[in-house]
């Protein structure tokens, strides 16, 4: 359960931006890869706690889940895997350990009111 410390990092980052721009943040957009090791529901419930008593209290955390994409050597193209339990090309079945997307844990945008 490391979601609370991650939620606190997200709040800190957003707060820094808010202060720098003298703006109020109404929502934080987050890209969350399915291989990030973070549970969406846990992060959402921790976010509320992490915001308490900060200028971000009442703001929303909007999570965009990023599927796992591998690079298929045979197809010479990136492919989204059908399951995180099977790292193989969904088209030709070739296994691949080259992960292109899915590890994201990134604040992508902030909704601000100036």
Partner 1 sequence: MSTPRLLEVRKNVLKQNDLVARALRDRFSAESVFVVSLVSSPGAGKTTFLEKILTLLHERCHVAALVGDLATENDAVRLARSQTPVKQITTGTLCHLEAAMVQTAMKGWNTGRLDFLFIENVGNLVCPSSYDLGENIRMVLMSVTEGEDKPLKYPTIFNSADVAVITKMDLAAAVEFDEGAAIANIEAVRPGMKIFKVSAKSGLGISDFMDHIAQRRAEAVSTQVETRS
Interface positions with partner 1 (CB under 8 A): 1-2, 6, 9-10, 13, 17, 21, 26-27, 29-30, 35-38, 84-88, 95-97, 99, 105-114
Residue for token pair 């599927």: 67
Which CB, 52 or 62, lies closer to partner 1?
62
Under a CB-based contact definition with an 8 Å cutoff, are residues 104 and 31 in contact? Answer: yes
**Strand duo 69-72 + 99-101: pairing:** antiparallel
Q: How far is the CB of 79 from partner 1 (least distance, A)?
A: 13
d(CA 17, CA 7): 16
Which CB, 27 or 80, lies closer to partner 1?
27
Q: How far is the CB of 52 from partner 1 (least distance, A)?
A: 19
DSSP E strands: which ranges in the chain?
Answer: 24-33, 60-66, 69-72, 77-80, 99-101, 105-113
Which CB, 67 or 95, lies closer to partner 1?
95
Q: How far is the CB of 68 from partner 1 (least distance, A)?
A: 9
Q: How far is the CB of 41 from partner 1 (least distance, A)?
A: 14
Under a CB-based contact definition with an 8 Å cutoff, are residues 90 and 82 in contact? Answer: yes
């Amino acid at each position: 359960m490391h979601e609370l410390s991650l939620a606190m990092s997200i709040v800190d980052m957003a707060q820094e931006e808010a202060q720098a721009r003298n703006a109020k943040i109404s929502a934080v957009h987050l890209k969350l890869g399915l291989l990030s090791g973070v549970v969406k529901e846990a992060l959402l419930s921790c976010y509320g706690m992490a915001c308490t008593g900060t200028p971000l209290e009442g703001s929303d955390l909007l999570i965009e889940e990023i599927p796992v994409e591998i690079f298929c050597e045979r197809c010479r193209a990136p492919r989204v895997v059908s399951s995180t339990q099977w790292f193989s090309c969904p088209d030709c079945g070739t296994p691949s350990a080259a992960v292109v997307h899915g590890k994201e844990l990134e604040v992508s945008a902030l909704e601000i009111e100036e």
